[in-house]
Chains A and B, each alone.
Chain A
């Protein structure tokens, strides 16, 4: 596809269940970002990849959150032992340029809406 693709679009999990959210960035995009957006809030930074390297994971809220991008394209955000406060829309964005080479535009996916019961 032409844009960033995320799956699943909607996920309902029982508290304590593990979930995995997938992001397919635009082909050739070097940078990939994950954001968490709670209801009524702006996107909150979680983590950032440049190719397969995770360069910043300072926004991950706990060690239950883990992200990977093993081949520098598709990325997976995994949340272990989900809690109700994890309920949010998880946004993935990709960018053509590397950090520091000017203002790279972020291209967003439609998001994965996670509801933890």
Chain B
């Protein structure tokens, strides 16, 4: 099946620890995105990548880092500098062509205590 996978579904960390969230897609999409969703709110863009080895900051990049070494993979690291990391994290991809539609993964719920 083609799609986007995120792992794990639930993640628990202690404050002060870095944590990396996985996002993999087999849709052959060029562009990938990371969003953060807080309860009762919409999606806010953290980082995005339109091509391998290139990525740009979104609206709320502080305290996060990404890499795009392979077309299929776009991992997100939540660093200890992120002041309020507990949230639902969503990864998405897009063909990079004329369509704007983004396909989303199932999400990772991160809880930091």
Report if A and B associate in a common complex. no
